Amino acid sequence: MIVTTALTKRYGRVLAVDGVELAVREGDRYGLIGPNGAGKTTLLRLILGLVYATSGEITVLGQPVPARLRTVLPQVGALVEGPSSYGHLSARANLSLLDAAGPGGARRTRPARIATALERVGLARIDERPVKAYSLGMRQRLGLAAALLRAPRLLVLDEPTNGLDPQGIREIRDILRELNESGTTVFLSSHLLAEVEQLCTRVGVMEQGRLVIQEELAVLQAATGRVIVHTPDAARAVALLDGRVESSVDGRLLVRHPDPAELNALLVGEGLRVTEIGPERRSLEETVLAVTSAGSDRVDSAPTAPAASPAAVPPEPAEPAAVPAVPAEPAVPAEPAAPAVVEDP
Amino acid sequence: MIAVELVKLVRRPRTWVSIVLLCALPAMVAIFLAVTKIGPAPGKEPAFLSAVLANGSLLPAAALALVLPLFLPVAVAVMAGDSIAGEASSGMLRYLLMRPVGRTRLLLAKLVALLVFMVAAVVAVAVSSYILGRALFPAQPGAAAAVSVSGSPLTTTQLVLRICAAVGYVAVSMLAVGAIGLFLSTLTDSSLGAALGALAALVASEVLVTLDAAGAVRTYLPTRYWFAWLDFFRDPILWRDIDRGLAIQAVYTAVFLALAWANFATKDITS
């Protein structure tokens, strides 16, 4: 759906986007994470043809951008850097003007399409008040309605839940999931990890203009190859699993073992009591912080860690099922300091 | 997109406010004149005002002379300066371009809306003051409808035709301001900045026109032939300055529109 090769955008002396190799596949719910100023919005603007690249190539829906924007953009719905509208006009008037401004979409079907889009975002009963009287959340919904107006194949959304209350955020998440299930690819940016973790299937992490991670969410959250065991018989367990226990604190053991089930059988077989057992998983937050918190210097990913290498973007889909039950090598290395090679400038 | 721009123009309160204000100034002058009957001495500025007392049909010409130096260019500069920069500052520019509206097409639509506004403003001034003139200053029965600047009488038909020609010329005279404003509007995200920039260019031109030391460049300034439409009221019509005025407007318009296009088509939209 969206592929960029060595995409670079320079504003004067600032390198806003630096050699980004983005790959959003059809059917993805792709979440682009990164701190403010990491280049997320600039990347979105490049993809939508608002800003022209300094170097590198962009392909959206199989067509080169910006050369073929005229054929690409009618199939793309977008929300970039907050919703906008003509404040003195009503929601319907705004959508109607926007719809009339571009190609495609019969005038005959316009009122119906506007009604559908408004209903979809929960503004079905909107009145004729001018938009300037709307709350931030209503404007956000209106912006989303504008993006959905033409039933796009691809949605590009910049911070789509900005200004919404928790209920609104949940609603938008449900809408996006529904749309995605009916075949719309969703590409969104956010600085809220939890939001991306709950919605997306695939994650990209940006840091100072570079795409430092691009991976399936399931892979990022894969087991680390260790098992957490809670047992009242900690001392016996440590003796039994000699050398494989990394830590033992208050009956909570961290054991290097590929398979929790097997470990459980072993422990129980020896007559040990187990209150809780399960694989250790990293949260998205830990993963992201591991790559992005290394300070303001350049952060390079270890070449051995496929998750963290921008060069290792898999062009072919890696099935979520391919999440290794027994990871030969942890998808995300255990020690935060280990994978991130901090180069001195 | 052109239709959308025209709808936006019509539905925007500011359009109507500025046209009403443009019509209000000549109306105010006419009412004062009708009440006090004190006209300026013949041949003194503002043009035609002394003749209005004798013949109300000349009020449109006097009205044009009143709004031309400042009111009209200010209104046009504000509209032109707002055209792209206004969309940028409201954030709608990116949504229009992503709709997608081609950049050239958007610029063209803005230009058409601007032209429509210019013509509508000038026509509104002329029509409103014609009606007002006929109402406030009844023509003396039996007298010739009007007397041309050269002294020979003009029939009402001739007069109306010449007023129409003057209206057209004044509208064309606004092209250079409009084009400069449009160009500046593509440079900045502040509509106020673009409007003021266009006005600054205009004021500079008006100052240089009166300066003898700037004689070498005077002929090429956009405001140099602004009042050439007065020649429509000579008998016979003196075409020389009118032609030059039209040519100068055409050149300025072409150059600044080309600049606007070149800049806008290659610009990074970061608003």
Bridge partner list, A154: A76, A185
Domain count for chain A? 2
Bridge partner list, A211: A206
Instruction: For residue A107, give how far its alpha carbon lies from the nearest alpha carbon of chain B (Å).
Output: 13
| Residues with Cβ within 8 Å of residue B205, at least 6 apart in sequence | B221, B222, B223, B224
Confidence at B46, pLDDT banded by 50, 70, 90: confident
Q: Assess whether A230 and A148 both reside in one domain.
A: no
C-alpha–C-alpha distance, residues A123 and A131, integer Å = 12
Q: Assess whether A36 and A70 both reside in one domain.
A: yes
Gyration radius from chain B CA atoms: 20
Please say if the pLDDT value at position B138 is more than 80.
Answer: no
Q: Assess whether A203 and A58 both reside in one domain.
A: yes
| B100: contact with A, CB 8 A cutoff | yes
pLDDT mean across residues, chain A: 83
Note if the bond before B46 is cis, omega within 30 degrees. yes
Mean per-residue pLDDT for B47-70? 86
CATH number at residue A264: 3.30.70
> Using one digit for the tens of pLDDT, what is the confidence trace for A192-210?
888 898 999 999 999 889 9
Structure tokens of B118?
A: 């210019």
Confidence at B88, pLDDT banded by 50, 70, 90: very high
C-alpha–C-alpha distance, residues B217 and B205, integer Å = 10
Instruction: Supply angle C-alpha B206, B210, B212, rounded to 5.
Output: 135
Please say if the pLDDT value at position A20 is more than 90.
Answer: yes
C-alpha–C-alpha distance, residues A330 and A197, integer Å = 20
Bridge partner list, A158: A189
ipTM: 0.85
The reply to whether A86 falls in a domain is: yes
Q: Assess whether A25 and A54 both reside in one domain.
A: yes
C-alpha–C-alpha distance, residues B21 and B128, integer Å = 12
The reply to whether A134 falls in a domain is: yes
C-alpha–C-alpha distance, residues A41 and A188, integer Å = 10
Please say if the pLDDT value at position B5 is more than 70.
Answer: yes
Instruction: For residue A93, give how far its alpha carbon lies from the nearest alpha carbon of chain B (Å).
Output: 10
| B112: contact with A, CB 8 A cutoff | no
Q: Which of A163, A192, A218 finishes a domain?
A: A218
Q: Which of A197, A218, A239 finishes a domain?
A: A218
What residues make up the domain containing A272?
Answer: 224-281
Residues of A in contact with B90 (CB under 8 A): 84, 86-87
Q: Assess whether A98 and A205 both reside in one domain.
A: yes
Q: Assess whether A214 and A270 both reside in one domain.
A: no
| Orientation of helix A110-120 relative to helix A136-148, angle to 10° | 130
C-alpha–C-alpha distance, residues B31 and A303, integer Å = 85
Structure tokens of A188?
A: 């969104």
The amino acid sitting at B247 is A
Q: Assess whether A42 and A151 both reside in one domain.
A: yes
Bridge partner list, A205: A33, A213
- Nearest alpha-carbon partner for B198 in B89, B112, B104, B75: B75
Residue extents of the structural domains in chain B: 2-265
Residues of A in contact with B107 (CB under 8 A): none
Q: Assess whether A165 and A94 both reside in one domain.
A: yes
Mean per-residue pLDDT for B242-266? 96
| B218: contact with A, CB 8 A cutoff | no
| A50: contact with B, CB 8 A cutoff | yes
CA distances to A26, A29, A183, B48 from A179, in Å: 13, 10, 7, 68
Confidence at A299, pLDDT banded by 50, 70, 90: very low
C-alpha–C-alpha distance, residues A127 and A99, integer Å = 19
Judged by DSSP in three states, B170 sits in helix
Structure tokens of B263?
A: 């800049």
Pairing of strands A154-158, A276-281: unpaired
The reply to whether A83 falls in a domain is: yes
The reply to whether A79 falls in a domain is: yes
CATH number at residue A212: 3.40.50.300
Q: Which of A218, A249, A266 finishes a domain?
A: A218
> Using one digit for the tens of pLDDT, what is the confidence trace for B195-243?
999 999 999 999 999 999 988 999 999 999 999 998 998 888 899 999 9
Please report the pLDDT score of residue B143 as a whole number: 55
Confidence at B254, pLDDT banded by 50, 70, 90: very high
Q: Assess whether A231 and A143 both reside in one domain.
A: no
A237-266 in b/e form (b: 16+ CB < 10 A) is bbeebeeebeebeeeebbbbbbebeebbee
